[in-house]
Structure 1
Amino acid sequence: MKIIVIGKSGQLAWELSQLASPEHEIVCLGRIDIDLQHVAAITECLQQQKAAGVINASAYTAVDKAESDVDNAYALNAKAVGNLAQACKALSVPFVHISTDFVFHGHKGAPYLPGDEIQPLGVYGASKAQGEQLITDTYPERSCIIRTSWVYSTHGNNFVKTMLNLMRTKPELGVISDQIGTPTYAKGLAAACVASLTSSVNGIHHYTDTGVASWYDFAVAIQRIGLELGLLEKIIPIKPITTDQYPTAAKRPHYSVLDKSGFANTLPELTFCHWQTQLHMMMTALKAEQP
């Protein structure tokens, strides 16, 4: 099966590229390879590539910048997604799209189900929500939307690498403790994407690692594992702070844990691991990559 991944430089696209095998040829296309703003161009490109399935791992993910860069956020997170859905429908190939916990308001106080009402707080979440709706309106019969959260990888820029760099250079850190979610290693998310495509899963689903954490909890675990693996040389104080103490352009959901039970039932072959287990695995891989 030849799988076309939309996206080339991002961490999920990179993890997807690592899953290439004799069973699954995986080709990643960047912005210079495919014009996402025109359906005809997408359709022609997918035909030329002889795509048997498409995974959209591209997105406008600069949450704060999106508040002032509205047109570009919607162009990539909504219009391009709708165009991809139209092209996949024209070619009758399955389509998997990655969405986000930011489509939710964050005040439910319990894990969000795929069918819960969406109430995005900012441009990023609203643009991703519109992308979801365009898929649902256009190609519900052979499309799968996977919402996820707090994604990181050995590749690219992410919270884990940022924290490690700050822990090496700063005397102390303050990290937000009142935003609750679940970190997700992109390696597992990539496997879930491929499984959804090859098993022809439809509808909206949730995938993250298991467990619950604040950004503060996440940072504390990064420091603990970093010291254990020798990625860090010294302990620095990490202080919990509130969202109000660290104002940002975009509002973020206070509680955005996603309920994965339906997806686990749909794809019983998937393995769901605790976020701290996955974090240890990623940081071990990160250490192995260092000279």
Structure 2
Amino acid sequence: MILVFGQSGQIAIELALLGAGPCLSRAQADFENPGALAAAIAAHRPDAVINAAAYTAVDRAEEDEARAFQVNACAVEELAQTCAEAGIPLVHISTDYVFDGSGTTPWRVTDLTNPQNVYGRSKLAGENAVRAAGGPHAILRTSWVVSAHGNNFVKTMVRLGAERETLSVVADQIGAPTCARDIAAACLDIAQQLRMDPSKSGTYHYQARPFASWADVARAVFEQADLRCSVADIPSAQYPTPATRPLNSRLDCSATKHHLGIEMPDWRAGLKAILQEL
């Protein structure tokens, strides 16, 4: 049995739809309540754990640093140590925000981290806690998560594209939208591989292809959804946010393919599936 921490997030919802579970809500496993995660693992005695719970309010984290670190780092430390002591493989979802977003070269798993906002720093602290625990684990960094559920860029573009004739969208942040369903499937695959071969433990990247800007993605949404809304490219400087966003969110996923045999999906196909579901 694979135990999932998280229930209402995009990836957790897709994990449930793919048959993983139980998927624990905050009421069942509160990341702000020390001891709650260890108790949940003791109660369920899983074969593997996937952590799909996180504090993901990037801008709010700038003013809510203590809570972001509690959920993304302190609670993850408890989770990782509990799993390590029991020999339970842990798949932990992380983010490209652990990098500083400089340059244009895709980030490798071995590149130096340098997060530029509170959210990124809290997620990096969580990564370090998982590694330090020493148990079988996979840290899976991904980016720009989208789905038919929750709040995300695709759903926002569908809503705004139906209301407006033109939208200004940031064009100098480059990465790739990655479908939550694809991430969920990869997490399940990795959890099973870790059960069979704990030596595959490590840090991996998982991101859809091809690389694109937010403006590119918006145009693809409007085209596939048959919305007559045009896109005006703007730089990030014209769309200021409390938290700094990385300009370069490209991830090198070669280690994931080489060590785990997992291919990267095409986000345009995933977008089509999301729009059909919506």
Settle same-fold status: TM greater than 0.5.
yes
Q: How does 1:38-117 map to 2 (within 5 A)?
A: 40-117=35-112
1:238 equivalent in alignment to 2:231: yes
Q: CA deviation at 1:284?
A: 2.0
Distance in 1 between residues matched to 2:178 and 2:105, nearest whole Å: 18
Q: Is the 8 A contact 1:39 1:87 kept in 2?
A: no
Structure 1 residue aligned with 2:275: 283
How many residues in Structure 1 have an aligned counterpart in Structure 2?
Answer: 273
Distance in 1 between residues matched to 2:81 and 2:187, nearest whole Å: 20
Q: How does 1:1-291 map to 2 (within 5 A)?
A: 2-20=1-19, 26-37=21-32, 40-139=35-134, 141-200=135-194, 201-227=200-226, 232=227, 235-268=228-261, 270-286=262-278
> What per-residue deviation string (whole Å, max 9, x for no partner) do you get for residues 182-217 of structure 1?
110111110110111100141100001121000000
- What are structure 2's unaligned runs of at least 5 residues? 195-199
- What are structure 1's unaligned runs of at least 5 residues? 287-291
> What per-residue deviation string (whole Å, max 9, x for no partner) do you get for residues 90-115 of structure 1?
22211000000001111132000001
Q: Percent identity?
A: 41
Matched residue SS, 1:71: helix
> What per-residue deviation string (whole Å, max 9, x for no partner) do you get for residues 14-40 of structure 1?
0001111xxxx5210011001334564
One-letter amino acid matched to 2:147: S
Runs of 4+ in 1 over 4 A off after TM superposition: none
Distance in 1 between residues matched to 2:55 and 2:126, nearest whole Å: 12
Structure 2 residue aligned with 1:289: none
Distance in 2 between residues matched to 1:158 and 1:175, nearest whole Å: 14
Q: Is the 8 A contact 1:211 1:274 kept in 2?
A: yes
Q: Is the 8 A contact 1:103 1:126 kept in 2?
A: yes
Structure 1 residue aligned with 2:197: none
> What per-residue deviation string (whole Å, max 9, x for no partner) do you get for residues 145-198 of structure 1?
000000011111110001100111123210000000111011111011011110
**TM-score scaled by length of structure 2:** 0.95
Q: Is the 8 A contact 2:170 2:213 kept in 1?
A: yes
Q: Is the 8 A contact 1:36 1:83 kept in 2?
A: no
Distance in 2 between residues matched to 1:279 and 1:249, nearest whole Å: 28
Matched residue SS, 1:199: helix
Distance in 2 between residues matched to 1:262 and 1:271, nearest whole Å: 10
Q: Is the 8 A contact 1:17 1:26 kept in 2?
A: yes
Q: Is the 8 A contact 1:37 1:83 kept in 2?
A: no
